Chain A
Amino acid sequence: MSAMQRKKRTEAFLLGNEAVAEGALLAGCTFFAGYPITPSTEIMEVMARRLPHVENGVFLQMEDEIASAGAIIGASLAGRKAMTATSGPGFSLMQEQIGYACMTETPLVIVNVMRGGSSTGLPTSPGQGDVQQARWGAHGDHPIIVFSASDVRECLEMAITAFNYAEKYRTPVILLLDEITAHTREKIEIPRPGEFEVLSRLLPTMPPEWYKPYEETVRGVPPMPPIGTGYRFHVTGLTHDPLGFPTSRPDEVKAVTERMFRKIDRFFHDIQIVDHDLTEDCDTLVIAYGSVARSARLAVRQAREAGVKAGLLSLKTLFPFPRPQVEKLLRTCKLVLVPEMNMGQISREVKRVNSGITTIRTLNRVDGQIITPSQILKEIA
């Protein structure tokens, strides 16, 4: 249905999950492997319907989330833009593979539609409890990019952005949604190809015999040829030298680990995406992300009507944490409120950046319900 509308008109009435799938397809995703889990399943269902119609499109339902992550890593190594979608429990299962993708610098997009609670928790209710897991879930030191989206339009946009950044930085990108964003239907305009940027990974220009898969480059991101194109190299989760072979030589280990961080660190300004809403003159700031940012938007408007100089900083990039943007506002605000549907995960980051500059207040809700505008308003007005 949505597919046919897309051809006739650029407007569609879509679920957040459906918009993620549309965004992925627009970004050039041709490979999806997944395992059903509420509340992410619609992403998988759209991909199952659509991908067979895409040139060389592959959709696979795997035996579990570990296998799903493995299959998209394989597909990405073979040159595909690949994605999977899951929720908290499945996301936990994927962590080893995500770590492997970080180590092997394999571009991937992993969507985690967060449900409430820990463990099986509240499968059909929202939560934001996987924020720190998205950053630190995989073992060992590793850089990673984590995005979020608050409405259906952002779901589509951030899906495209997630693919672009995965390819640009050769890294897994996590797109964190919550159940509300994923299961809200809204009217959005589907952009036409050409109206947005689509990036693909850098390919080597040198002959195969000169190619070193993990060599230092100016951006810190080495070119990556698809398997089977003449550049035969070794991919391993073991710490490796520039040729990709296992090494435990301290100088080589240090070099590859530091480059992996540097390739992300150096481009913080490019990766850290935030939305400012009435922050130019605000002295009371709300920092929010996901569906809570929508409640906050209304609350900030209502606070303004009540005479409070409120503003909203909504985070689209959660990690690398947008420190410069947050820090600047901390200096000018007397009160900062961080509402989240968890016991305080992004507020930890805000407090870390704050280090005594201003007052940080948290608003945590963990009963499987969205934080309402009136709850936020009560805290700031």
Chain B
Amino acid sequence: MAEVTQLIHQYLRHNKKFPLVFCPGCGIGIVLGSLVRSVHALDIPKDDMVVVAGIGCSGRIAAYVDFNTVHATHGRALTLATGIKMASPHLRVLTVMGDGDALSIGGNHLIHAARRNIGVTALVVNNFIYGMTGGQCSPTTPFGSYTHTSPQGQMEKSFDVVEMARAAGANGVYRGSVFHAKALDGLVQRAMSRPGFNLVEVMTPCFTQYGRGNRFRSPVEMFQWLKDTMTPREVYEKLEDKTGKLPMGVFVEHDEPGLEQRHAAMRQALADKGGAGS
């Protein structure tokens, strides 16, 4: 506990008016904790750490952490992060986005950030719902789920973030859950310590806006659901009946250099040719 208190003092902003905006039973606080523990474990100086967040519940994480923080426009966190990383490649840039943020309004930016392999870590906090606006369906809302904008049940299929990031060319793709906090720490650290674009999908419950409308009687039941559903990838692949299960762990790991590294190499090659300033 003393260690936790110490981390709080070291990494959270004292001048920010707490408490957090998150509802009781929300998992985003655990994502925040995982982020702080990962930065601490990787020994990244606070001045080098940049958190760019989108709009939505998860986007509020940025205001609480004592790093360089940018709360961007809805869906555009990765575009600002790209600018920051390319302008100052020594900075460690991480984006926090929700499922609606990253996959709906910002879907194009996510695809292209992965394709250009910009050296940014992307946390996609997936709670199946637009929480801040009051519970509308998102691109990850499971088929048939009830939300304020799918009162007859969601009629559309949902995205698989992991498969999309893989197809778009991300260097690293991971999935974890806030129930498996220790494992999540490991995944976040792994994603943050590798070159190029690395994406971590974090499954987290939203009881207030999603759970209540979909036969969950308490936040605890939602955590129980995560516990039952999330299965380590190695185990998942061996399962004969995969219904109701979702794999988590490491899905993709390539070692391609990040875009900023490619640019640096290109500039160096030009300078070696004596082309600088021509």
A interface, CB within 8 angstroms of B: 3-4, 31, 33, 52-58, 60, 62-64, 66-80, 82, 96-97, 100, 226-230, 232-238, 243, 245-246
Contact = CB atoms under 8 A, between A and B. Distances in A.
Report the interface size class on chain B.
35 or more
A76 B66 CA distance: 21
A53 B73 CA distance: 32
B63 A74 contact: no
A53 B84 CA distance: 20
Nearest to B71: A236
Interface string B64-98: 00111111110010111111111110110000000
B260 to A, nearest CB: 9
Contact of A232 (B63, B67, B84, B276): B67
B48 A31 contact: no
B263 interface: yes
A4 B48 contact: no
A78 B112 contact: no
Contacts of B72: 70, 100, 237
Interface of B: 13, 15-17, 46-48, 50, 52, 62-63, 66-73, 76, 78-88, 90-91, 108-109, 111-112, 263, 266-267, 270, 275-278
Given A58-B87, A72-B83, A232-B66, A63 B109 contact: yes
Given A67-B112, A70-B79, A100-B73, A58 B263 contact: yes
A238 B59 CA distance: 12
Given A3-B278, A232-B46, A31 B71 contact: no
A75 B83 contact: yes
A31 B66 contact: no
A82 B84 CA distance: 11
Nearest to A247: B17
Contacts of B76: 66-67, 70, 96-97
Contacts of B82: 33, 60, 62, 67, 70-71, 74
29 contacts: A52-B267, A52-B270, A58-B87, A60-B86, A63-B108, A66-B109, A69-B79, A72-B83, A73-B83, A74-B81, A74-B83, A74-B86, A74-B87, A75-B84, A75-B87, A77-B70, A82-B83, A226-B88, A227-B50, A227-B91, A228-B50, A232-B47, A232-B69, A233-B69, A234-B63, A234-B69, A236-B62, A236-B71, A237-B72
A77 B278 contact: no
Nearest to A72: B83
The 4 closest A-B pairs by CB, nearest first: A74-B83, A70-B79, A78-B87, A236-B71
Nearest to B116: A60
B79 A227 contact: no
A52 B263 CA distance: 8
B208 to A, nearest CB: 20
From B63, B69, B80, B81, residue with most partner A Cβ within 10 Å: B80
Contacts of A68: 79
B48 A228 contact: yes
Given A53-B275, A70-B83, A245-B17, A232 B68 contact: yes
Contacts of A58: 86-87, 263
Contacts of A72: 83
A77 B80 CA distance: 9
Contact of A80 (B46, B78, B87): B87
A63 B84 CA distance: 17
B94 to A, nearest CB: 13
A234 B47 contact: no
B11 to A, nearest CB: 11
Contact of A67 (B63, B79, B87): B79
A77 B69 CA distance: 11
Contacts of B71: 234-238, 246
Nearest to B111: A63
Contacts of A227: 50, 68, 70, 84, 88, 91
Contact of A228 (B78, B79, B90, B109): B90
Contact of B63 (A4, A97, A228, A246): A246
Which of A60, A228, A233 lies at the interface centre, i.e. has the most chain B CB atoms within 10 A of its CB? A228
Nearest to B15: A243
A74 B84 contact: yes
Contacts of A3: 278
A245 B16 contact: yes
Contact of B86 (A54, A75, A230): A75
B91 A228 contact: yes
Given A53-B276, A228-B88, A97 B83 contact: no
B184 to A, nearest CB: 25
A62 B78 CA distance: 11
B88 A79 contact: yes
Candidate in A33, A64, A67, A246 with the most chain B CB atoms within 10 angstroms: A67
Contacts of B275: 53
Given A71-B82, A74-B83, A74-B87, A233 B73 contact: no
Given A66-B79, A82-B87, 16 more contacts: A52-B267, A52-B270, A58-B263, A62-B79, A62-B82, A62-B112, A67-B109, A78-B84, A78-B87, A100-B72, A100-B73, A227-B50, A229-B47, A233-B68, A234-B69, A235-B70
A212 B70 CA distance: 15
Contacts of B15: 243, 245
A294 B71 CA distance: 44
A96 B79 contact: no
B28 to A, nearest CB: 16
Contacts of A236: 62-63, 70-71
A364 B102 CA distance: 44
Contacts of B112: 62-63, 67
Contacts of B267: 52, 56-57
Contact of B278 (A53, A71, A82, A235): A53
Contacts of A31: 83, 86-87
A238 B73 CA distance: 9
A74 B15 CA distance: 24
